[in-house]
Chain A
Amino acid sequence: MEEWSDNLNSLKGIHCKAEYNEQIIEEHKGNPFIEAIPSRVEVEDFYELLFSVPSFKDEYLELGVEDRLSLVQQIKPMFWLPFPGHYDKYRALYNMIKIGYQSRNPLLPMYNRQFAVGWDRIFETGLDQSGANLAGNIQTAQSHAEIGLSGMGKSKIYERILKTLFPQVIHHSQYNGKQLLMKQVTWLKIECPSGKSIGALTRNFYVAVDELLGTNYYEKFGEKGGTIDNLTKRMVKVAAQINLGVLIIDEIQNVHKAHSGGDERIINFITELVNTIGIPVIIIGTFKAMYLFEKSLANSRRAVSDMYLENITSFLEENSWEWNEFIENLWDQQYTIKYTPITAEIKHTMYILTLGIPDVAVKLFIHVQAKAILNGADEKISVSLINEVASKSLSILQRIFHKILSNYDPSYLEELEDIQPEWISFDEYYKKAKQSSLNLYKKRQNANTRAINQKSEGSILEELITFASNLINETEMAESLAKSVFDTSKKNGDKQSMFKQIAELAIGLGEKNSQNLNESLDIRKRVAKNPKPKLEEVDIRFIVKQGETRSLTAEESLIEAGIVKDCNELLNYVN
């Protein structure tokens, strides 16, 4: 897989050029969208690729308290353990994407016909009795719902699989010697905004597409008002245009019943997305979202048949293979001077206090370590220390965990979702470490830089202008370039990156003539609402206009310019 460009690394997924793999399944052959999906990885490779632990070196133990506290914080983003169940999810996801593309082969007339008919009309008309849409296409997409406790890693497993094992954007240019200029977005993950309507969800969608492809859909559609029907129709159209492989809608429980018939509409919306244009959808949510499935899904099931594969993840069982594997691996990530081996008692304590929810367990472990490091001496982790930390930061959860463990009742799980555990912020540990913690926090750092920038806005801008002037001869140009970089940094970018941006822009400018300079400063200007018609010398309209001044007919001008061609000119291509 070839990486598209270094500049795009900041984006979420990988961009790559299409490479076509031979397919075994007959239905998958001759479909560039399917053939461009990387081959399936075997289960061993899957573990290898997805397994992740924070870095550890013996020297780390020599470091001071503060440095080791930062290392402890790395456990949360870095520690991740694949389970056998995750491979099942990968397999399901992989098939879902491929099967979803079966009905969307850009080489088949059907695919193009749908564009010609217009998605609006297809969406409006829905499906006929045979399940075909207005263009006659029968969709193959499936949807999948993932329901579970928060902190179980529902979203994270999908994110990791998608980011690691699927390129996010595949750029097609040629297929079997024929031009095929298309972008294929294999996956897109959006979040349901809290307490908002579907409108806000579609806006999140546009933002995600724009960030990925550099398009301006948000500007075009997102700010535009309209009924929910219109908003969703537009979104469906864009999803079809970018050849979306799978759409993941996270935090689905945030859809509120109160908002414009929220629950009914969201399910209808998803069903239409899947059925009418054939884009597979995965919805992820906590148990709070169950009502969507109990009520609305039951209604729509007739239409959806057996396309919804539900997957409900509860907490891990104490004697399960997964929990033991998880806690033992986690326990290895110790940055305390003295390593505390895991015991049956520790395992049990960790389970009772966290209900086997991985996210909670990781957090508790981090806090326990931080506390042990701060306690000094041999920095030993003990059962009593774990209990002590939990009683402070997990007190509210403990009551519910206890209820669930002593008398299992699923309704307690819903109760759990409403509770935000009050974690002692990590800040406290640093403070206790009696260190100046200012420069350790990115948040602080940004706030700090912003303050400094505001104070010395003038002087930084001056520096930038001086720098830009060294690269560009025209003073005016240099000033506006420096100013635009400074403005777009929202005044919190560091100077180094601003210098870098100026350098990049200046190099780009060097290749263009000075008339176009202003345009390259800001891409947004080019897609402004009413751009002035840009007449190039080779522009047909320009050529004809120029010809008119010499009283030439349109045809005569275009013949002169070599745009109207003689039939026999074709033969020039034959040697």
Chain B
Amino acid sequence: MVGLNRKIKIQENKLKNGYGLGTGENYKPFIQAHDNKVASEGWITRHLGWKTKRIHHTLSSHERRFLYFLEWIEEVVDIREQYPLLPLSRTEEIANELGIKHANVEGTPVEMTTDFMITMKTSQGNIDLVRTVKPASKLSKRTLELFEIERRFFQEQGIDWGIITEKSMPNTLIKNIEWLYEARYLDTRPSVNEELISLIEIDLFNMIFNDHGDTSISVICLRCDKTFGIETGTSMFILKHMLATKKWDADMNQKFKNSNPLLLSKLRSPISTVHVG
């Protein structure tokens, strides 16, 4: 019963804080308290989304990592996590047809949610896709039942539905996105602004590019900081920012590390498609 109370508590707290479900710009995920959707302790994380410009909530490290991946794909235009399966009566009907117990709290059916509703821009216009993230070890009988309800629900709507396990995620790419994630927005580092970037970007690029991978990037960036007499760490931040905004390009499948050298590709205008894997 302790577990159940905790679930209800989480729901109530979320309510009090004004979190709910919805769509579009106002989308606020509601973390649903049912047996498939409770955050493992310590994994609720918040990120300012690149696509949505709002805070994203993830309930597990796997979800967080998948979110990084989605942020990197240029064609992903909207991400709605903890997306509700509405109306409740439909999922109830499906559960009923399948002889499966619907997600519930104390026997009262509650709305089901799926991890990610993804909107992608294609040549045929925007399409919606659903991906739900689950570690392979947690594909229990109950999870499979709830997933079957989800699958049928979205099949009816003609929405592609699939599961992502930890093994199907490109680890290096995701680690790299994580490494540069916060640098997307300039206000995460108060001393940096557009003007400063425009003043040193070409020199910094040339310093790294002309090094041909001999020196670790932390050393090159420190040299740059010193040369221009700017705050230590600024050049590293600018490097991350240029990569995060895709103004500079590097092989995302080589692990980025401060102590490693980095091979930058040519300076170029923002790209439309990123090839990964």
Contacts and interface: CB of A to CB of B under 8 A. Distances in A.
Interface of A: 106-113, 115-118, 120, 134-136, 177-179, 181-183, 215, 241, 526-527, 530-534, 538-541, 544, 553-555, 558-559, 562-571, 573-575
Contacts of A183: 87
Contact of A533 (B20, B23, B98, B162): B98
B163 A563 contact: yes
Given A109-B28, A555-B136, A564 B87 contact: no
B66 A241 contact: no
Contact of A109 (B26, B145, B276): B26
Contacts of B148: 539-541
Indicate the size class of the contact surface on chain B: 35 or more
A533 B100 contact: yes
A118 B110 contact: yes
B69 interface: yes
A534 B165 contact: no
A241 B20 contact: no
Given A107-B24, A540-B151, A574-B273, A555 B97 contact: no
Contacts of A135: 15, 20
Contacts of A531: 96-97, 99
Given A534-B99, A568-B276, 7 more contacts: A113-B15, A116-B11, A116-B32, A541-B148, A554-B136, A570-B73, A574-B122
- Dominant secondary structure at the B interface: mixed
Nearest to B22: A109
B96 A564 contact: no
A281 B129 CA distance: 39
B168 A564 contact: yes
Contacts of A544: 139, 144
The 6 A-B pairs of least Cβ separation, nearest first, read A113-B20, A109-B22, A109-B20, A112-B21, A533-B99, A565-B162
- Specify which of B24, B144, B164 lies most central, judged by the most chain A CB atoms within 10 Å of its CB: B144
A115 B88 contact: yes
A558 B163 contact: yes
Interface in B25-84: 26-28, 30, 32, 66, 69-70, 73, 75-76, 84
Contact of B159 (A120, A179, A555, A570): A179
A564 B18 CA distance: 34
A559 B22 CA distance: 31
B277 interface: yes
B223 interface: no
A138 to B, nearest CB: 15
Interface string B118-138: 101011011111010000100
A559 B156 CA distance: 22
Contacts of A182: 86-87
B277 A568 contact: yes
